[in-house]
Structure 1
Amino acid sequence: MIRKTIAASAVALAALTAGCSVGSTTAAPASSAPSASSAAMPKSEPVSLDIPSIDAHSSLVPLGLNPDNSVQVPPVSTPLQAGWYENGPTPGEVGPAVVLGHVDGNKHKGIFYRLKEMKPGDDVDIARRDGSTAHFEVTKVDQVPKDVFPSDAVYGDTSDPQLRLITCGGAFDRAEHSYVDNIIVYAHLVNGSH
């Protein structure tokens, strides 16, 4: 089940680039039908991310909450660094683990610059501190306006281990210094290995 700290303590995720918010974590739980994924893995911090289809490879840093209850993001000065929301499930545990990355920053492409190119069936591997790897398969890729961010679908309880990859997307609103959309990749665990 999704950790209560997500719903209880987080109001909104912070910008992945200037002014780019990615929705509230105060969603009501959403039920999710069981998938054909493998059994859940025990809790273990994720240490790195590998997405071959978009040539994205990064270590993972833990992201907590800022004083305003928004999720911290890696510095925009290091746009190729991805991070995981440490108040949620770790990748491989039951529930939706959340990984955040920049689309761009500091006038360079970010780790999730090509996230919008992902397709169902693509692989996402997350190496964990216990020496295991959580192997996920993409089930859906969405581009949604920030003002209708699907909090229930992203943060709601699931009966199996799932993963969400989130970045900014769509047009860049120069007046607001913000992207107008979010790109959200949904994936489910297919197996975990040592």
Structure 2
Amino acid sequence: MRHRASAFLPFSLPSRLPSLGFLMLLLDAAFDVPFDASWFDPEPDPSTPGSTELSPDEQRRLRRKISNRESARRCRNRKQRHLEELRTESARLRSQNRDLASRVGALAHRCILVHRANHGLRAQSAALSRRLIELRRLVLLRRVLTMAAPAPVASHGGFGGVGYEQALASLLA
């Protein structure tokens, strides 16, 4: 049993069609699905009045049109899928970029804190080094003075006895 194009249309067509190309456009407009030309038989139905015969060139041209339309539809579908994939990938990359920017900001803040702490520790180390040098000088001075000096007299108020200890304690503080 042959299917006629008019059986699939939601409206009636005149008994004599202006062209099959027009019919193909109507079918494409009426149904937004790939056109299935398997029902199309280029041989005219003798029972249909006013049907026209197509030459072999017209048949090839018609088949080529149908094939091109199906190919274009497949191409549009592929492009649409690709576009959706790109949108998904773009959203994922934007999210990843935000996460990385947040991590970079946190690391930059931490770096500033470590830099400040390092600066403070270097200053403290320099102060402690200066104090250590002064203490070593005092210890060396005490050794020299105790070896070279005679027994200290407390009444002179010199470096011996309590006066020396007080001077050393004030330098240590």
Larger radius of gyration: 2
How high is the TM-score relative to the length of structure 2? 0.21
Which has more helix, going by share of residues?
2
Q: Which has the higher contact order (CA 8 A, sep 6+)?
A: 1
How high is the TM-score relative to the length of structure 1? 0.19
